[in-house]
Amino acid sequence: MKAAALQCLLVAPLLLLFPGFSQATIEYTVSVANPDEHIIRVSMTIPDAEERTIVQIPAWNALYQIRDFSYRLQEVRAQVEGGNAVLRKLDKQTWQVAGWKSRRRVTITYGAEWDEASPFSTQLNGSHAFINFAMILMYAPERRSEDVRVTFAGLPPDWKVGAQLKSDDSGRAFTAKNYDDLVDAPAELGRFDEFTFDVRGGAGTARIRVIAHAHQPLSDGDRQKLQSMLSRVVATETELMRDVPFDEYLFLYHFGEGGGGMEHAYSTAIHAGSIDAAMGVTAHEFFHLWNVKRIRPRTLEPVDFTRENWTRALWFAEGVTSTYGNYTLLRSGLWSRQQYLADLAGEISKLEARRARTWKSVEEASLDAWLEKYRAYHAPAYSISYYNKGQILGVLLDILIRDATQNRKSLDDVLRHLNEEFARKRRYYDDSADIRAAAESVAGRSFEEFFARYVAGTDDLPYDEIFARAGLRLKPRTSDGPPAFEELAEATPLARRIREGLLRGITDE
183 neighbors 137 (Cβ within 8 angstroms): yes
CA distance 224 to 130: 24
b/e burial code for range 269-283 (CB count within 10 A of at least 16 → b): bbbbeebeebbbbbb
CATH for 3-114+131-156 (3.40.50.970, 1.10.10.10, 2.60.40.3650, 1.10.1040.10): 2.60.40.3650
Element (H, E) at 390: helix 386-404
Element (H, E) at 397: helix 386-404
394 neighbors 418 (Cβ within 8 angstroms): no
pLDDT tens, position by position, 146-169: 999 999 999 999 999 999 999 999
The pLDDT assigned to 23 comes to 66
pLDDT tens, position by position, 393-452: 999 999 999 999 999 999 999 999 999 999 999 999 999 999 999 999 999 999 999 999
Q: Does domain 314-504 have CATH number 1.10.390.10?
A: yes
**pLDDT of residue 277 exceeding 50:** yes
Return the DSSP state at 214: -
Element (H, E) at 87: strand 86-91
Q: Phi first, then psi: what are they for 440, rounded to 5°?
A: -65, -35
Element (H, E) at 352: helix 337-352
pLDDT tens, position by position, 300-349: 999 999 999 999 999 999 999 999 999 999 999 999 999 999 999 999 99
Q: Which among 419, 135, 71, 70 is positioned nearest to 269, based on CA atoms?
A: 135
Strand 94-98 and strand 173-176: the pairing is unpaired
CATH number, span 193-289? 3.30.2010.30
* Total-model pTM: 0.94
Average pLDDT value for the chain: 94
Q: Is the dihedral of CA 268, 270, 274, 277 positive or negative?
A: negative
